[in-house]
Amino acid sequence: AQSVTQPDIHITVSEGASLELRCNYSYGATPYLFWYVQSPGQGLQLLLKYFSGDTLVQGIKGFEAEFKRSQSSFNLRKPSVHWSDAAEYFCAVGATGGSYIPTFGRGTSLIVHP
């Protein structure tokens, strides 16, 4: 069975600082990996996704993520955080091929200090 672990429940950064959110997955083959953001009172928005190919994936809002098979990780990064990035971030894994039935991590809450 597939699973996702986001080790950090909360992360606090200062505006302008760099950010890295951790995600570890468990899946028997090369997974499809996703990062979503959820602002208060809103649904999820897809930031980026990895299916195959280049292991460094660029997404929206200046985010990127790197797939590392050896570490079963798919960490999300941003070089300079803005106050508007404060939100809940979810990593998800989907089985390769077929319908999209994702398994989500428990989420990391990002707090941005001015």
**Closer to other proteins by Cβ: residue 18 or 58:** 58
Q: For other proteins, which is the closer residue by CB, 44 or 86?
A: 44
Tell me the C-alpha distance between 63 and 74, whole Å: 12
* Phi and psi, residue 28, nearest 5°: -75, -20
**Positions that interact with other proteins (CB under 8 A):** 32, 41-46, 49, 51, 90, 94-107
Closest contact distance (angstroms) between CB of 36 and other proteins is 8
Q: Kindly tell me which of 45 and 71 has the beta carbon lying closer to other proteins.
A: 45
Q: How far apart are CA 21 and CA 78, in angstroms?
A: 9
